[in-house]
Amino acid sequence: MKKLFILLFSFLTISAQVEAAAEGGEFKPGDMITHHIADDYTWHFADGVTLYLPVILIDNGTPKVFSSSNFYDENHAVVPYEGYMMSHGHIYRADASGQQAADQSSLLDFSITKNVASLFISVALLLVVFFVIAGSYAKGKGRAPKGIQSFFEPIIIFIRDEIAKANIGPKYERYMPYLLTIFFFIWFNNLLGLMPGGANLTGNIAVTLVLATMTLLITVFSGNKSYWSHIFATPGVPTWLAPIMIPVELIGILTKPFSLMVRLFANITAGHIIILSLFSLIFIFESIFVAPLSVAFAIFMFFLELFVALLQAYIFTLLSAMYFGGAVEEHDHVGDHGHGDGAH
C-alpha cells in the first residue's frame, strides 16, 4: 500500500512539473527530462514547491554566500545578481550587460546543490539507521534480532558470506566496512532517487567516479607481490612481449573502475529517462487512448527500477570484492592461471 501511495504521489508530482513546463508554450519533453535528472541550485518538488539552496562562492579569495532565489525574478525568469549569473547549471561572473564575462578565473563554486543536499540527507539517514541497528545489537546480544535489525541483518550476512568471503577469501574482514558502506549508500540513494522530487544522485557521473576511484585505490594499495608480478611479468608470456603486455595490464587496472562508474551512472540515469519519457507521451499526444498505455508502462518501469536499484548496488559491491580478491590472492607457483588471473 505504501509503495502504491508513493507511486501515485510520484506521478502527481511529475504531472504538475510537466504541466508547469507546458504553461509557457509548447511542451518540450527534453527540457523537462534534463531538468529532472541534472543537478541544480534549486530543488523543485512540485509546482509551487521549490527549495532554494545556498550559493557559496569564493571569488578571488572573498567568500560570497546568498540564496539561489536571488537569481530569479517575480516571473521566475533567470536574472543576474551582484555580478554573477546562472546558466546551464553553472554560476559565472557577469559583465555590465548581464552576459557571461570573459574572465572566470579564481571563481570557485562550493554551493549546496540538489545532489549535495541529497547526499547529506542520505548520509544522515544511513547514520541513523545503522546507529539504531548497532544499539539494538548491543542491547539484544545473543537474542534473535527484531525490528529494523531483523530486516538488515540477513542483508549484511549475505554481503559477508556470499560477496566478501566468496571473492576475497580469508582477508575479507578488512574490506567489510567499505563493502557494506558502498552497498547501502548506492541502494539507499537509488531508492531516494525514485521518491517524489528525489535527486538523481547515483545518476551523477561525478558521484559514480568517486565511488569507482575509491575501489581503484583500495585495489591498488592492497595489491601483493603476486598481483604486481602478474602485471609486470605475466606468467607464460614470452619476455619479448612484455612491452605490449605491461601497458595492456596497466590499462586493465583502469578499465575495471571505469566500467563500475559508467554502469551505475548509465543504468540509473536511463531508468529515470525512460519513466519520464513514457509519462511525457500523455502530454505530447494529448490522447485519451495513449494515456492509459503510457501510465501502465511507466508503472511497470517504476517497479522494475526498484529491482534495478538493488541490483546495481549488488553488482558494484560484488565487482569491487572481486577486484580486492584478485589483489590479495596468493599464488603458489608462477604457472598458476587460476581465479586470480581471471580477475585481471
- How far lies 219's CA from each of 162, 225, 281, 323, 337, in Å? 19, 13, 45, 6, 20
Question: For the chain, which residues score pLDDT lower than 70?
Answer: 1-25, 331-344
pLDDT of residue 331: 63
Q: How far apart are CA 36 and CA 16, in angstroms?
A: 13
Q: Which grid cell is 319?
A: 565487482
Q: How far apart are CA 61 and CA 74, in angstroms?
A: 32
The DSSP bridge partners found for residue 50 are 44
pTM above 0.95, yes or no: no
From the list 233, 240, 187, the residue with the least C-alpha distance to 211 is 187
Q: How far apart are CA 123 and CA 189, in angstroms?
A: 9
Contact 37, 271 (CB under 8 A): no
Q: In what order do the strands lie in the sheet with 107-109?
A: 62-67, 54-59, 107-109
pLDDT of residue 338: 43
Q: At 45, is the secondary structure helix, strand, or coil? A: strand
Q: At 129, is the secondary structure helix, strand, or coil? A: helix
Q: At 58, is the secondary structure helix, strand, or coil? A: strand
Residues 276-298 have pLDDT tens digits of 888 888 888 888 888 889 889 98
Contact 205, 270 (CB under 8 A): no
Residues 164-187 have pLDDT tens digits of 999 999 999 999 999 999 999 999
CB atoms within 10 A of CB 279: 25
- How far lies 71's CA from each of 21, 144, 301, 338, in Å? 19, 55, 36, 60
Domains of the chain, by residue range, sit at 54-111, 115-342
Task: Provide the 8-state DSSP code for 335.
Answer: T
pLDDT of residue 281: 87
